[in-house]
């Protein structure tokens, strides 16, 4: 097997230590292997970098073990070509597994070019990733707090959520504060309804009549404090993300024009993919990296499970959310694609297929800065197979007992 990297190193990274193995193949074919263990403090990692540079190492490979690869990458990246690879590609041969043998195995695979490097974005994009992912977590916590609020109200025989559309709305908030204060009757609390909620005052009176105890008031107050705190943190993150994405305002505007895609989805796309797609040669490669395409498992001429891989959950969740939003639009290509696939494959698979289409559109918009999104229309699929759709419609009407004669309409 041909050696691609004559001087390379494999790192077995742990929380407190890093085992480095340097593999050097000389011109006469002799292989020299050196191993050394280092700590994971910044001072120790500088010593690791100096040792690798002193041996004229060109490439360094390590597996992406949780977050422990990040300190190593931060120190080695400026001086060396560091490859972070998927742990699935580094499965050690069974038996005799030690840290030293793991590092040597990584170095051996690296020397023969059998590893594929993971996409590691620039530092500014990694910062944006941290912000968008943290915001997503906070929104999930906010949903959990709202669900707890609903449970406390049900335990107190308060059916406010059966009348109010949102328990976090203005009217609901005023009524919750009145419940906590315990100074007003259900009739008086119902009068706190705002705007369209005032048409539901009779239902609100019944819904606000319950058995609220001191324990319920304490829990409601704590949950409102939590929701207010989460709203403040989310607002601060929104402002910080807006500052970091301001240089890409034009690009964000073009992406925001995609059916179903909103400003928050655009921010996630920029954080996970970046403002360019130079790291992926085609839209198919990007879809495979994002794990929105079917799996490929074929053996002996038989296609087996096509289940997609579990990988880029942050980007996938944002794209699927945009796909569901696109499915509710009128006279758009993505909505027509969703309803066409839902009849045969079910709603979840249809949503994933639309997410795949959205990512393909994103790829081409990022690849060509001069392109803009132009929706094909809800009738595109019908017009593309016009004769087939015509025969199908005629056959359906004939099955229902009609004699059909088609007359073309003048343009």
407 lies in a domain?
Answer: no
Q: What's the confidence (pLDDT) of residue 385? A: 82
In this structure, the answer to whether residues 237 and 129 fall within a common structural domain is yes
In this structure, the answer to whether residues 139 and 82 fall within a common structural domain is no
Q: What's the confidence (pLDDT) of residue 407? A: 83
In this structure, the answer to whether residues 339 and 234 fall within a common structural domain is no
In this structure, the answer to whether residues 253 and 326 fall within a common structural domain is yes
Q: What's the confidence (pLDDT) of residue 28? A: 85
Q: What's the confidence (pLDDT) of residue 228? A: 95
pLDDT tens for 230-276 read 999 999 999 999 999 999 999 999 999 999 999 999 999 999 999 99
CA 319 from chain centre, in angstroms, equals 7
381 lies in a domain?
Answer: no
Give the end of a domain, one of 57, 81, 111: 111
Q: What's the confidence (pLDDT) of residue 63? A: 86
Give the count of domains, the chain: 3
Single pTM value for the model: 0.87
117 lies in a domain?
Answer: no
39 lies in a domain?
Answer: yes
Whether the Cβ atoms of residue 245 and residue 189 lie closer than 8 Å to each other: no
320 lies in a domain?
Answer: yes
In this structure, the answer to whether residues 226 and 129 fall within a common structural domain is yes
354 lies in a domain?
Answer: yes
- Coil, strand or helix: which one is 23? strand
User: What are the start-end ranges of the H helices in 279-385?
Assistant: 283-290, 313-327, 333-345, 347-367, 380-384
In this structure, the answer to whether residues 235 and 255 fall within a common structural domain is no
399 lies in a domain?
Answer: no
Q: Which residue(s) pair with 31 in the sheet?
A: 25
In this structure, the answer to whether residues 145 and 234 fall within a common structural domain is yes
Length of the chain: 411
What are the angstrom distances between the C-alpha of 278 and each of 77, 246, 367?
A: 20, 21, 8
Give the angle 353-355-360 at the CA atoms, nearest 5°. Answer: 95
Read off the CATH number of the domain in which 84 is found. 3.30.420.10
Q: What's the confidence (pLDDT) of residue 305? A: 73
Q: What's the confidence (pLDDT) of residue 37? A: 95
Question: Domain of 269?
Answer: 249-296+306-367
64 lies in a domain?
Answer: yes
Give the end of a domain, one of 367, 387, 404: 367
Q: What's the confidence (pLDDT) of residue 87? A: 78
Q: What's the confidence (pLDDT) of residue 411? A: 65
Give the angle 356-360-365 at the CA atoms, nearest 5°. Answer: 145
In this structure, the answer to whether residues 99 and 131 fall within a common structural domain is no
Question: How many Å apart are CA 266 and CA 132, to the nearest integer?
Answer: 11
pLDDT tens for 194-208 read 988 899 999 999 999
Nearest to 88 by CA among 60, 116, 50, 108: 116
59-63 sheet: strands from edge to edge? 31-39, 17-25, 7-13, 59-63, 81-85
Q: What's the confidence (pLDDT) of residue 95? A: 53
- pLDDT tens for the chain, 411 residues long, are 788 899 999 999 999 999 999 999 988 888 999 999 999 999 999 999 999 999 999 899 998 878 899 999 999 999 999 999 987 776 655 555 788 888 988 999 999 888 888 899 999 999 999 999 999 999 999 999 999 999 999 999 999 988 988 888 899 999 999 999 988 899 999 999 998 889 999 999 999 999 999 999 999 999 999 999 999 999 999 999 999 999 999 999 999 999 999 999 999 999 999 999 999 999 999 999 999 988 777 777 777 777 888 878 999 999 999 999 999 999 999 999 999 999 999 999 999 999 999 999 999 999 999 999 999 998 888 888 888 888 888 899 889 988 888 888 776
In this structure, the answer to whether residues 129 and 242 fall within a common structural domain is yes
Classify 260 in phi/psi space as left (phi over 0), alpha (psi -120 to 50) or beta: left
CB neighbours of residue 117 within 10 Å: 15
Q: What's the confidence (pLDDT) of residue 328? A: 95
Helix axes 249-256, 263-272, angle to 10 degrees: 120
Q: What's the confidence (pLDDT) of residue 93? A: 55
What are the angstrom distances between the C-alpha of 258 and each of 10, 47, 182, 357?
A: 43, 49, 49, 11
In this structure, the answer to whether residues 65 and 152 fall within a common structural domain is no
In this structure, the answer to whether residues 162 and 221 fall within a common structural domain is yes
In this structure, the answer to whether residues 343 and 235 fall within a common structural domain is no
């Amino acid at each position: 097997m041909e050696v691609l990297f004559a001087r390379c190193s494999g790192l077995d990274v742990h929380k407190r230590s890093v085992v480095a193995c340097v593999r050097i193949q000389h011109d006469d074919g002799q292989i020299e292997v050196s191993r050394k263990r280092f700590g994971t403090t910044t001072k120790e990692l500088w010593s690791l970098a100096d040792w690798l540079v002193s041996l004229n190492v060109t490439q360094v490979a390590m597996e992406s073990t949780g977050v422990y690869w990040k300190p190593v990458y931060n120190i080695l990246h400026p001086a060396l070509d560091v490859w972070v690879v998927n742990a699935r590609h580094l499965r050690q041969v069974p038996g005799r597994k030690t840290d030293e043998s793991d590092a040597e195995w990584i170095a051996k695979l690296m020397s023969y070019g059998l590893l594929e490097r993971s996409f590691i974005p620039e530092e500014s994009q990694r910062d944006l990733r941290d912000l968008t992912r943290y915001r997503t977590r906070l929104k999930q916590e906010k949903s959990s707090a709202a669900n707890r609020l609903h449970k406390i109200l049900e335990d107190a025989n308060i059916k406010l959520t059966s009348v109010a559309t949102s328990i976090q709305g203005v009217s609901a908030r005023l009524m919750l504060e009145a419940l906590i204060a315990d100074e007003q009757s259900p009739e008086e609390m119902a009068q706190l309804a705002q705007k369209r909620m005032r048409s539901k005052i009779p239902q609100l009176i019944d819904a606000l009549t319950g058995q609220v105890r001191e324990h319920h008031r304490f829990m409601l107050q704590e949950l409102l404090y939590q929701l207010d705190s989460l709203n403040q943190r989310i607002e601060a993150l929104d402002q910080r993300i807006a500052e970091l994405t301001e240089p890409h305002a034009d690009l964000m505007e073009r992406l925001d024009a995609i059916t179903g895609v909103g400003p928050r989805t655009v921010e996630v796309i920029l954080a996970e993919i970046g403002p360019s797609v130079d790291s992926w040669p085609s839209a198919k490669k990007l879809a495979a990296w994002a794990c929105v395409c079917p799996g490929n498992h074929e053996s002996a001429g038989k296609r087996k499970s096509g289940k997609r891989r579990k990988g880029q959950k942050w980007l996938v969740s944002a794209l699927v959310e945009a796909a569901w939003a696109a499915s509710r639009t009128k006279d758009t290509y993505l909505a027509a694609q969703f309803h066409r696939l839902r009849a045969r494959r079910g709603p979840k698979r249809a949503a994933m297929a639309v997410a795949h289409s959205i990512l393909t559109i994103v790829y081409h918009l990022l690849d060509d800065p001069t392109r803009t999104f132009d929706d094909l229309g809800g009738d595109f699929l019908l017009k593309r197979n016009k004769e087939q759709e015509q025969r199908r419609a005629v056959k359906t009407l004939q099955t229902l007992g009609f004699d059909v004669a088609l007359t073309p309409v003048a343009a």
